[in-house]
C-alpha cells in the first residue's frame, strides 16, 4: 500500500473514531504540555533568583598597570589610553562575548543647569551598551553620536534644582567650547556601573564616546589613528560563559592586541572579574540546571506513561479491526504502516497543541507568582520528540502484535 493511500485511510480512521482520537491527542497534549509548563516554571524561577543575586552584569574589566603589582581593580589603574577601537572589534569576535564597552574620562571645565554653574573636572565617555533598560529611574540610554547624556542619581541631585530626563544641561568642554546636552536618562539608585564604580555617592555624568571622547592613539595593527581608552569592560553573554571568555580575551590582550604594544614595557594588561559573585551565580545555575532536569525528566516520564496508556488502549480496542483488515488481505506491514501514520498524525497534532498549551500554562503560572518568564527551548524539543516517539511506539506495538497472529484470533478479541 502506498503512503498516500495509508495517509488517506489513517485520516479516515482518525475522523471515524473521533472520541478515541480526541482522547489520544489529549493524552499527548497533557504529556507534552506539562513538561513545557514545569520546565518554563523552573527556568523562570532560575531567572528570578539569578536576577536577584546578580547585582551587576557578567563583566570582565580590562585595565593596564605596573606588572607584578596587585591586580588593578576598576579605577585603580593609571589612565593610559591603550585599548584601541581595533582591540574592541577583535574582542567582540570572541565566542560568548555579548558586548565590549570602552570607558574613558573627558576633562571638562564645568557644568551648568538653569543658571547654576558647577566647576567639575571630568565626565565619563562610554557606549550605550553599558546601560540596561531596567537601570533607569527616568528616561533611557543615550544614542551614539547624539548630544545626549546620562546622569547617575547623585549627579542629578547636585544642582540646585533636580535634573530629570528631557532637561538640558550645558557642558563646558573647554573655554569657549560649551555644548548643550539633552539628559536622555537618569539611572536608579541601586545601579552599580561596574566599569567605573559610579554607583551611589559620587556624581557621575556619562556621555557617548562618539563624538565626545577625543583621546586617540595610532593603532599598531591597522596603522590608523583611533580612539584609545584606558579601560574596557568585556561583557559575557551569560555568567556561565565568563570563564570561557576570560581565557581567550586575556590571551588576545596580552599577546596580540594594540594595547600590548601601546602600554609601557613594565606594565601589563590585567583582567578582573567579580569572582565571588560569578562563583555564587554559577552555583545557583548548576543547582537549577539539575532541578529543571529533574522536573523535566519526571514530567516527561509521567507524560510518556500517559501517552503510552492512551495509545495502547486505543489500538488494543481495535484489535478486531486489525483482524478484519488481515482477513481481507492486509499484510502485517500494511497494518503497521496504517497505525504508524495514524500515531504520527495524532502525535504531531498533540505535540503542537501541547506546546501551545504548555507555553501558555508556563507563562500564566510564572506571571501568577510574579516571576520573569524565561523559556528553556531545548526541553521543548525533547518533550515533543519524546511525545511523538512514545506515541508512535505505543501506537504500532499493539498493532504489530495483533497483526502477528492468525486473523481469527484478532477477530475473536472483544
Partner 1 sequence: MTDAAVELHDVRKTYRMGDQTVHALDGVSLTIGRGSYTAVMGPSGSGKSTLMNVVGCLDTPTEGVVEVDGVDVTELSDAERTGLRGDEIGFVFQTFNLMPQQTARENVELPMTFQGVGRSERRERATELLESVGLGDRMDHKPNELSGGQRQRVAIARALANDPAIVLADEPTGNLDSDTEADILALFEELNAAGNTILTVTHERLVAEHAERIVHLFDGEIEEIEEIAERRIAGEANR
For partner 1, the binding residues (CB under 8 A) are 1-2, 5, 9, 12-13, 16-17, 320-321, 323-332, 334, 404, 406-408, 411
Whole-number Cα distances in Å, 36 to 17, 54, 256, 301, 381: 28, 26, 46, 13, 10
Nearer to partner 1, 194 or 341 (CB): 341
Residues 258, 90: contact at Cβ < 8 Å?
no
CB nearer partner 1, residue 68 or residue 329: 329
Q: Kindly tell me which of 91 and 335 has the beta carbon lying closer to partner 1.
A: 335
CB closer to partner 1, 265 vs 328: 328
Smallest distance from partner 1 to CB 319, Å: 12
The beta strands (E) that lie in 25-89 are given as 59-66, 83-84
Q: Residue 9 Cβ, how far from partner 1 at the closest point, in Å? A: 7
We find the least distance from the C-beta atom of residue 342 to partner 1, in angstroms, to be 12
What does the alpha-carbon distance between residue 213 and residue 194 come to, in Å, rounded to a whole number?
A: 20
Query: In the bound complex, what is the minimum distance in angstroms from residue 21's beta carbon to partner 1?
Result: 11
> What is d(CA 227, CA 233) in angstroms, rounded to the nearest whole number?
16
Whichever of 2 and 176 has its CB closer to partner 1, that residue is 2
- Work out how close the CB of 410 gets to partner 1 at its nearest, in angstroms, rounded to a whole number: 10
Contact of 106 with 122, CB cutoff 8 Å: yes
Residue 94 has which C-alpha cell? 570572541
Query: Residue 347 CB, nearest distance to partner 1 (Å)?
Result: 20
Answer for the pair 161, 116: CB distance below 8 angstroms, yes or no. Answer: yes
Closest approach of Cβ 355 to partner 1, in Å?
A: 29
- Judged by beta carbon, residue 8 or residue 157, the one nearer partner 1 is 8
DSSP assignment string, 165-184: TT-EEEEEEETTEEEEEEEE
Cα distances (Å, whole numbers) of residue 73 to 69, 250, 270, 331, 392:
11, 15, 9, 77, 59
> Which residue is listed with cell 570572541?
94
CB 182 within 8 A of CB 168: yes
- List Cβ neighbours of 94 (8 Å cut-off, separation of 6 or more): 245, 248, 249, 252
Sorted by sequence, the CB contacts under 8 Å of residue 229 that are 6+ apart come out as 81, 82, 83, 102, 103, 104, 209, 213, 215
Closest to partner 1 by CB, 245 vs 330, is 330
Indicate the residue among 297 and 327 with the shorter CB distance to partner 1: 327
CB of 350 to partner 1, least distance (A): 20
Amino acid at each position: 500500500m502506498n503512503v498516500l493511500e495509508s495517509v488517506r485511510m489513517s485520516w479516515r480512521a482518525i475522523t471515524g473514531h473521533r472520541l478515541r482520537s480526541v482522547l489520544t491527542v489529549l493524552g499527548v497534549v497533557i504529556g507534552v504540555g506539562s513538561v513545557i509548563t514545569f520546565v518554563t516554571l523552573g527556568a523562570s524561577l532560575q531567572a528570578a533568583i539569578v536576577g536577584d543575586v546578580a547585582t551587576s552584569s557578567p563583566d570582565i574589566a580590562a585595565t593596564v598597570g605596573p606588572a607584578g603589582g596587585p591586580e588593578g581593580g576598576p579605577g585603580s589603574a593609571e589612565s593610559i589610553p591603550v585599548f584601541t577601537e581595533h582591540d574592541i572589534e577583535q574582542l567582540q569576535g570572541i565566542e560568548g562575548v555579548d558586548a565590549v564597552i570602552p570607558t574613558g574620562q573627558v576633562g571638562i571645565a564645568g557644568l551648568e543647569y538653569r543658571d547654576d554653574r558647577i566647576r567639575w573636572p571630568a565626565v565619563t565617555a562610554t557606549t550605550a551598551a553599558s546601560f540596561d533598560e531596567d537601570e533607569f529611574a527616568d528616561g533611557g540610554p543615550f544614542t551614539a553620536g547624539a548630544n545626549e547624556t546620562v546622569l547617575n542619581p547623585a549627579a542629578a541631585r547636585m544642582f540646585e534644582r533636580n535634573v530629570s530626563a528631557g532637561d538640558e544641561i550645558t557642558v563646558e568642554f573647554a573655554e569657549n567650547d560649551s555644548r548643550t546636552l539633552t539628559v536622555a536618562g537618569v539611572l536608579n539608585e541601586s545601579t552599580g556601573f561596574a566599569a567605573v564604580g559610579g554607583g551611589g555617592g559620587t556624581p557621575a555624568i556619562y556621555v557617548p564616546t562618539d563624538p565626545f571622547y577625543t583621546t586617540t592613539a595610532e593603532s599598531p595593527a591597522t596603522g590608523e589613528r583611533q580612539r584609545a581608552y584606558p579601560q574596557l569592560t568585556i561583557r559575557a553573554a551569560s555568567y556561565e560563559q565568563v570563564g570561557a571568555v576570560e581565557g581567550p580575551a586575556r590571551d588576545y590582550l596580552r599577546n596580540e592586541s594594540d594595547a600590548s604594544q601601546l602600554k609601557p614595557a613594565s606594565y601589563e594588561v590585567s583582567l578582573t572579574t567579580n569572582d565571588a559573585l560569578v562563583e555564587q551565580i554559577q552555583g545557583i545555575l548548576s543547582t537549577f540546571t539539575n532541578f529543571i532536569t529533574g522536573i523535566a525528566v519526571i514530567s516527561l516520564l509521567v507524560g510518556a506513561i500517559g501517552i503510552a496508556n492512551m495509545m495502547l488502549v486505543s489500538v488494543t480496542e481495535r484489535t478486531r479491526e486489525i483482524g478484519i483488515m488481515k482477513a481481507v488481505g492486509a499484510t502485517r506491514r500494511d497494518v503497521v504502516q496504517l497505525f504508524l501514520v495514524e500515531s504520527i498524525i495524532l502525535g504531531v497534532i498533540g505535540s503542537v497543541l501541547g506546546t501551545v498549551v504548555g507555553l501558555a500554562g508556563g507563562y500564566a503560572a510564572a506571571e501568577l507568582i510574579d516571576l520573569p518568564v524565561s523559556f528553556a527551548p531545548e526541553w521543548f524539543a525533547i518533550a515533543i520528540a519524546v511525545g511523538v516517539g512514545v506515541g508512535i511506539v505505543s501506537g504500532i506495538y499493539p498493532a504489530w502484535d495483533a497483526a502477528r497472529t492468525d486473523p481469527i484470533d484478532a477477530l475473536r478479541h472483544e
